[in-house]
Structure 1
Amino acid sequence: MSTDPANGQAPIGFIGLGVMGAPICRNIMTGSGRTMLVHDIGAERVQRLAEKGARPVADPAALAADCGTLFLSLPGGPEVEAVLTGPGGIAASARPGLTIVDLSTTPVGLTRRLAAELAERDVRFADAPVARTRAAAEAGTLSIMVGGAPELFAAIRPLLALAASEVTHCGPVGCGQVAKIMNNMVLFQTVVALSEALALGEAAGMDRALLFETLSKGSADSFALRNHGMKAMIPDSFPLDAFPTDYARKDISYALELARELGFEAPGATLAEQRLAETSAAGYGREYFPVMARTVRQR
């Protein structure tokens, strides 16, 4: 492992430079002043970070061998598993003492299994999924929910704080994912309720904007109403690849998977999954997921 001559600390690694990963990487690199080694399957994404001072590395395993802390920001469980334990993955050649921080949203069971496998190789692992919007990622005001040993949380918290205004230790490994998955489960169910209220209110003759403005003054007020509702559903504006419908479907599937593993029924989450599936089938898989309001209105 090399040492960053600027500050005597090991370089930081970052794999996954997508909508959320790129600004998180940039904020950590800028705030820490440390060398940032980056990898992504998209050459243009890598180039944009290289222009900010990051150092591209073509191979994830080689990147992991040359850094002290490695962040992952990937689409979901299959991608995280492939990077860590798949052919040519990081685990096979991981240096003892490496710390891996998974910012992705990943199934709880998989997270705990991967952490156990890495621990056998003396690699520390924390799950640290992120919440809030792309704008929050750009501003460094995300909420990050961390699962891992207390001493590991204390070690990685200063770096996470460069990308977030709230960094919460949720418990042992996997509990960050529990918190994130439950957060999104509640969010999706709330957006289903908002979609139904919007469709029903309009059908009854009320102005859509006035309806949500009025709801925001009562007990129906929520983050989802003010952000997903007023900023996307009211203007009927759903940009591509800003938390797309298909990503939301993936996240709700993790909630339902956890419910099955624990023997719970989750009818509200099941309904949210159905609405998201209908929205994707209608051709809105890449649009911002509150676009489900369109399909609910057309039911």
Structure 2
Amino acid sequence: MSTKPKVGFVGVGYMGHGMAKNILQGGYDLMIKGNRNRVPVESLTAMGAHEAGSLAEMAAGCDIVFLCLSNSPQVEAVIRGEGGLLANGKPGLIVVDTTTANPVSTMALAAELEAAGMHMVDAPLGRTPKEAEAGTLDAMVGAAPEVFERVKPVIDCWAGSVTHLGPVGSGHKMKLVMNFLGTGYAALYAEAFTMGAKVGLAPQLVRQVIGGSRMGCGFFETYTQWVCDRDPDAHLFTLDNAAKDIGYVCLMAQAAGMANPMSAAVRNAFASAVAQGKEADYMPMLADHIASLNGLDLGEEVEKGRG
């Protein structure tokens, strides 16, 4: 009989599918709970996963449950809901939240689970769905040491790099610091390309000079695959999700009692795009929004630069 824990997984979308697949391939008995999209659910059940009829069934039958959802309200509903994990889990259940979430919410949920004899781990992700499928994501983990040791073998199935940062909440805090930098770069790049075009520098020239300098980086490379090459799949992360993340950054800063002029400005850049119906656009497309505010079509500026 296997001594491995029984694992549940809620949210088998872009990132979750690959993570769940790699847990299965690690030899774990896996129960999944999907959403309206049946494609990833059917893919995983064909590989041997069991589909839970309810969260209550998963909570009662699993030792560790992973969450990979869109935001903190969804996480709160899965944990606190009438048919959720808190009401139906057995003592010792570990809930691992890989969502990019609000640490204030995470800490509150952790306290409620602890009071019921359960445990919370936050393990937000770095990298993309490509690395999720390959099992090479980055995991930033907040957990008590003994709980971390119990979940690490399962996280190792889908992560190439696992960093235990400290107690519960540490992972989500670090993820928000990281996403502040990412959204900040996106907003800076958007304005820089518009500024260049306004003064007669084609986007390709900006890419050539900046990309080859000390200010170039991997994020700049993927960003310019959209701006200069018009590759819509360069960075598949929506402006709506980015706006959510930078909003959480500002809430974290507010809770810490700090002045945050830069993150507030970045939040406004993304909020402006979302307010004008661009929420389904991807991160580098913020550059087109900023260009439009300044009376430019960035695609046309790219074409001019080819002439």
What is the TM-score of this pair, normalised by structure 2? 0.90
What residue is the counterpart of 2:301 in the other structure?
none
**Aligned partner of 1:237 among 223, 231, 239:** 231
- Describe the shift of the 1:225–1:37 C-alpha distance in structure 2 as closer, same or farther (beyond 3 A): same
**Aligned partner of 2:250 among 256, 263, 273:** 256
Q: Secondary structure in 1 aligned to 2:149?
A: helix
- The alpha-carbon deviation at position 215 of structure 1 amounts to 0.9
What residue is the counterpart of 1:74 in the other structure?
69
Q: Is the 8 A contact 2:176 2:246 kept in 1?
A: yes
**Aligned partner of 2:160 among 141, 160, 165:** 165
Counterpart residue type for residue 104 of structure 2: G
What residue is the counterpart of 1:145 in the other structure?
140
Aligned-residue Cα RMSD (Å) equals 1.7
Distance 1:209 1:58 in 2: 52
Q: Is the 8 A contact 1:233 1:291 kept in 2?
A: yes
What residue is the counterpart of 1:64 in the other structure?
59
**Aligned partner of 1:92 among 87, 94, 99:** 87
Q: Is the 8 A contact 1:241 1:286 kept in 2?
A: no
- The alpha-carbon deviation at position 283 of structure 1 amounts to 2.4
Compare 40-49 and 79-88 and name the one that shifted more.
40-49
Aligned length: 292
Q: Is the 8 A contact 2:59 2:84 kept in 1?
A: no
Distance 1:230 1:132 in 2: 18
Q: Secondary structure in 1 aligned to 2:157?
A: coil
Q: Secondary structure in 2 aligned to 1:162?
A: helix
Distance 1:121 1:225 in 2: 46
Q: Secondary structure in 2 aligned to 1:284?
A: coil
Deviation string for 1:203-230 (max 9, x for gaps)?
3333323421321221212232122x23
Distance 2:155 2:42 in 1: 23
**Aligned partner of 2:151 among 153, 156, 174:** 156
Distance 1:155 1:198 in 2: 47
- The alpha-carbon deviation at position 237 of structure 1 amounts to 3.4
What residue is the counterpart of 1:41 in the other structure?
35
What residue is the counterpart of 1:176 in the other structure?
171
Structure 1 spans left out of the alignment, 5+ residues: none
- Describe the shift of the 1:233–1:241 C-alpha distance in structure 2 as closer, same or farther (beyond 3 A): closer
**Aligned partner of 2:273 among 279, 283, 286:** 279
2:247 maps to 1:221: no
- Describe the shift of the 1:192–1:253 C-alpha distance in structure 2 as closer, same or farther (beyond 3 A): same
Counterpart residue type for residue 233 of structure 1: V
Distance 1:213 1:281 in 2: 32
What residue is the counterpart of 2:305 in the other structure?
none
Distance 2:182 2:211 in 1: 16
- Describe the shift of the 1:241–1:74 C-alpha distance in structure 2 as closer, same or farther (beyond 3 A): farther
- The alpha-carbon deviation at position 110 of structure 1 amounts to 0.8
Compare 286-295 and 178-187 and name the one that shifted more.
286-295
Compare 85-94 and 37-46 and name the one that shifted more.
37-46
- The alpha-carbon deviation at position 239 of structure 1 amounts to 4.7
Deviation string for 1:167-222 (max 9, x for gaps)?
11111110100000110011101111111111122333333234213212212122
What residue is the counterpart of 2:292 in the other structure?
298
